[in-house]
Amino acid sequence: MSVPPVPVLTLNDGRTIPQLGLGVFKIDPSETTQVVLDAFELGYRHIDTARIYNNEEGVGQAVASSGIPREDLFITTKLWNDDQGTDTAFAAFEKSLERLGLDYVDLYLVHWPCPAKNLYVESWQALEKIRASGRARSIGVSNFLVPHLERLLKETHIVPVVDQIESHPAHQQPATEAFATAHSIAVESWGPLGQGKYPLLELPQVTSAAAAHDRSPAQVVLRWHIQRGHIVLPKSSQRARLAENISVFDFELSENEMAAITAVESVGRVGSNPNEMN
């Protein structure tokens, strides 16, 4: 099946990123290579992993055996909380590259701010050096709230290219999004489908748009993220759902449909609270 190509967005450092990627959180390490190869076959070129997902090797094996030129792929991994600090961040980055079997990653993120540790500024300074070495082409953060972003902007040199945050119709984080946008930090939506923990796909606003466009509810929610200008990282290990989730670039939600989904009642996060995760 051929689907329209995934558009790219330009980041604040001038590099480009496919607007939709496959998130591999909770994909079993033994299945990861095959799932990522399936995704590549279906047109995905952007993969979001992390040291804590324990499947960087599987992603790397898929990259190596895919035959796709490295420069056509966009691979993200993340610095885990226990590795925050200066020397620890350098060492953790080396190990991630080794597990991935890559010379460089396209994007390296600080996974959580971990405010009680108070090491995210030092960690970010380590990422600045890693970027200068060329082995992380771009650097960004994840789960940073406004006070964490403000501190980085004040105390360090490089503005993160992205903030990867929990974002879906029932938890939109308007303050973080507004701050990020004002500073040219792109928003990446994690848990874009609410991790299946909140019945997003059964909301009447979503099911009526799905019926109107002859699409699935998941496609409508993903399209809502895309039209908001977010980078979106849906996860699935099922080939049919991988195909469904990338087929969101040949229809458009109307302003009214967008507004109705944006007006969904906020029930709060389905994941961890960035102020409490350490």
**Cα–Cα dist 193/219, whole Å:** 10
Q: Is the dihedral of CA 99, 100, 102, 103 positive or negative?
A: negative
In this structure, the strands spanning 8-10 and 16-18 are antiparallel
Site string for ligand NAD, 181-220 (x = CB under 6 A): ---------xxxxxxx----x----------------x--
Site string for ligand NAD, 241-270 (x = CB under 6 A): x--xx-------------------------
Using rule CB under 6 A, residue 123 touches ligand NAD: no
- Find the shortest distance in angstroms from Cβ 187 to ligand NAD: 12
**Cα–Cα dist 146/162, whole Å:** 13
Using rule CB under 6 A, residue 18 touches ligand NAD: no
What does the block give as tokens for 222? 């993903």
**Cα–Cα dist 231/189, whole Å:** 6
Q: Which stretch binds ligand NAD (CB under 6 A): 35-43, 55-63, 153-161, 236-244?
A: 236-244
**Cα–Cα dist 163/181, whole Å:** 10
**Cα–Cα dist 163/174, whole Å:** 13
Using rule CB under 6 A, residue 60 touches ligand NAD: no
- Active site (annotated) includes residue 53: yes
Using CB under 6 A, list all residues that contact ligand NAD.
Answer: 23-25, 48, 111, 142-143, 164, 190-196, 201, 218, 233-236, 241, 244-245, 271
Active site residues: 53
